[in-house]
Structure 1
Amino acid sequence: MSNLTAFLAQNAINPEAEEHIVSKRFVDPETQKPMKWQVASVDSDRDEALRKQHTKRLPVPGKKNVFQPTTDYDAYLTSLAVECTKFPNLHDTELQNSYKVMGAEALLKKMLLPGEYAEYLKIIQSVNGFDIGMEEAVEEAKN
């Protein structure tokens, strides 16, 4: 017989924040080493809220009063990345002002080069337990 106590909330191992070098362009002035970013996962409820925030109901062409939910995965992943980023504080006004942007999502995209941003999204997905990219997951779900 299995031991169900392993599934109790107090016995579950909580994932810890991870540190990653996201870009070699951000260097600690004292050590001259690349700064590490801190990222942490979100729970499934928060993930679902972020997905819903970026899902729209679009009408199905040729079918009256029929709508299909469509998720903007790029916007969803950006929001997820902002939510998971613990350091640097992407909501910091001084940091946003230094890049001449408003909002954490805009700041993240402005701070990172396109390749760095793509790699960061992979880190965010991995921290949250996704083994494959979201686009790959969508394609896999369709088949």
Structure 2
Amino acid sequence: MNNFADFLMDNFEDTQEIEREVTLGGKKKLMKFKPISADLGDKLRKKNRKTKFVKGQRIIETDQDKYISDLIIETTTYPDLKNSELQSSWGVMGSEELLTAMKSKMKDGEFSEWSSIVSEVNGYDKSVNELIEEAKN
């Protein structure tokens, strides 16, 4: 049954912070995450998009690595990667530089786990096949 009231602003839930235990630098750490809005997601994608012209055709490319880094920075609420004290302890300035420094001290699989959690928190936890099945039904 269709109910117009389902789409009123009061019926949209605020996003909640989620706690997860993540292994980083060889040790388990309790981290907190909060999903970003679709609007911020659009801004991050646009920020990491480049347009080039090949034989008169416009080609738009997205730097996925930079987008994932921005998504991690915006979604991870604890530790706050924008915190100047945390950045200073790593000898860097800026959240992107902090994330790069932290990556240098962790295993590739640890970073992959972190980015997977961030993707899941933001609703990207379904595979393409699951989405196709949902669309069929």
TM-score by length of 1: 0.77
Is the contact between residue 24 and residue 111 of structure 2 (CA under 8 Å) also seen in structure 1?
A: no
Q: Structure 1 residue 100 and structure 2 residue 91: aligned?
A: yes
Instruction: Name which of structure 1's ranges 102-111 and 113-122 shifts more when overlaid on structure 2.
Output: 102-111
Q: Structure 1 residue 110 and structure 2 residue 110: aligned?
A: no
Q: Partners in 1 of 2:81 and 2:48 — Cα distance?
A: 20
Q: Partners in 2 of 1:67 and 1:57 — Cα distance?
A: 7
**Pairwise CA RMSD:** 2.4
Cα displacement string for residues 55-91 of structure 1 (whole angstroms, at most 9, x for unaligned residues): 000221xx13x32010001100100110111111111
Shift of the 100–56 alpha-carbon distance from structure 1 to 2, 3 Å rule, reads same
Quick one: higher RCO (CA 8 Å, sep 6+), 1 or 2? 2
Match of 2:68 in 1: 77
**Gaps (5+ residues) in structure 2?**
133-137
Alignment length (residue pairs): 127
Q: Partners in 2 of 1:109 and 1:42 — Cα distance?
A: 21
Moved over 3 A (4+): 24-27
Q: Partners in 1 of 2:49 and 2:95 — Cα distance?
A: 20
